[in-house]
A and B are shown apart, each in its own frame.
Chain A
Amino acid sequence: MPDTHFYRYDDYDRALVAERVEQFRDQVQRRLAGELTEEQFKPLRLTNGLYLQLHAYMLRIAIPYGTLSTRQLRHLAAIARKYDRGYGHFTTRQNLQLNWIKLEQAPDAIAMLAEVDMHAIQTSGNVIRNVTADHFAGAAADEIEDPRVWCEIIRQWSTLHPEFSFLPRKFKIAITGSPNDRAAVRVHDIGLRLWANEAGEVGFEVIVGGGLGRTPMIGKTLREFLPKDELLAYLEATLRVYNRYGRRDNIYKARIKILVHEIGVEKMRAEVEAEYAATKDGALKLAPETIEAIARQFAPPPLRPKRTKVPEVEALKLENRAFALWLKSNVAPHRVPGHAIVTASLKPAGAPPGDASAAQMEGVADIADAFSQGEVRVSHEQNLVFPHVAVESLPEVYRALERLGFAEANIGKITDIIACPGLDYCALANARSIPVAQRISNHFAELSRQHDIGDLKIKISGCINACGHHHVGHIGILGVDKNGVELYQLSLGGDVDFGRTALGTILGPAVEADKVVEAVDALVATYLEARQAGERFVDTYRRIGAAPFKERVYGAV
Chain B
Amino acid sequence: MALFRLNPLAPQEPALSIANTDDVLQLGDRLKGVRLIALRFPKFTDGRAYSQARLLRERLGYGGELRATGAVFLDQLPFLLRCGFDSFESDQKGFGPALAKARTLFSVVYQPTGDGRATAGQLRLGRRNSVAA
Contact = CB atoms under 8 A, between A and B. Distances in A.
A162 B111 contact: yes
Contact of B108 (A15, A157, A293): A15
Contact of B125 (A44, A165, A287): A287
A136 B47 CA distance: 36
Contacts of B106: 16, 19-20, 23, 160
A546 B82 CA distance: 55
Nearest to A248: B46
CB-CB nearest 7 A-B residue pairs: A166-B47, A283-B112, A162-B82, A12-B120, A162-B79, A16-B108, A156-B110
A157 B111 contact: yes
Nearest to B123: A12
11 contacts: A10-B124, A12-B120, A16-B106, A156-B120, A159-B110, A160-B78, A165-B47, A165-B50, A167-B47, A282-B112, A293-B128
B113 A162 contact: yes
Contacts of B125: 287, 289-290
B59 A278 contact: yes
A465 interface: no
Interface string A146-162: 00000000001101111
Contacts of B82: 162
Q: Which of B51, B123, B128 has the most CB of A within 10 A?
A: B51
B25 to A, nearest CB: 9
B83 interface: yes
A44 B78 CA distance: 13
A289 B59 contact: no
A237 B92 CA distance: 33
A161 B111 contact: yes
A13 B109 CA distance: 9
Interface string A405-437: 000000000000000000000000000000000
Interface residues of A, number: 37
Nearest to B112: A283
B75 A156 contact: no
B83 A162 contact: yes
A163 B113 contact: yes
Interface of A: 10, 12-13, 15-16, 19-20, 23, 27, 35, 40, 43-44, 126, 156-157, 159-167, 240, 243-244, 248, 278, 282-284, 287, 289-290, 293
A157 B121 CA distance: 10
B51 A290 contact: no
Given A16-B108, A40-B73, A163 B54 contact: yes
B45 A156 contact: no
B105 interface: yes
A13 B120 contact: yes
Contacts of A23: 105-106
A160 B110 contact: yes
B44 to A, nearest CB: 7
A240 B83 CA distance: 13
Contacts of A248: 46, 48
B26 interface: no
A284 B23 CA distance: 23
Given A162-B81, A283-B112, 16 more contacts: A12-B108, A15-B107, A23-B106, A35-B94, A43-B45, A156-B110, A162-B50, A162-B78, A162-B80, A162-B111, A163-B54, A163-B79, A165-B50, A165-B79, A278-B59, A289-B128
A244 B48 contact: yes
Contacts of A12: 108, 120, 123-124
Nearest to B94: A35
Contact of A19 (B46, B83, B105, B110): B105
A282 B44 CA distance: 29
B40 to A, nearest CB: 13
A222 to B, nearest CB: 19
B93 interface: yes
Given A35-B93, A293-B128, A243 B48 contact: yes
Given A35-B93, A44-B75, A126 B54 contact: no
A164 B112 contact: no
Contacts of B76: 166
B112 A163 contact: no
B51 A163 contact: yes
Contacts of B110: 16, 156-157, 159-161
Nearest to A126: B45
A240 B124 CA distance: 26
Contacts of B124: 10, 12, 290, 293
A16 B46 CA distance: 25
A10 B128 CA distance: 13
Contacts of B44: 40, 43, 166
Contacts of A289: 125, 128
B31 to A, nearest CB: 17
Interface string B72-92: 010110111111000000000
Contacts of B45: 43, 126, 166
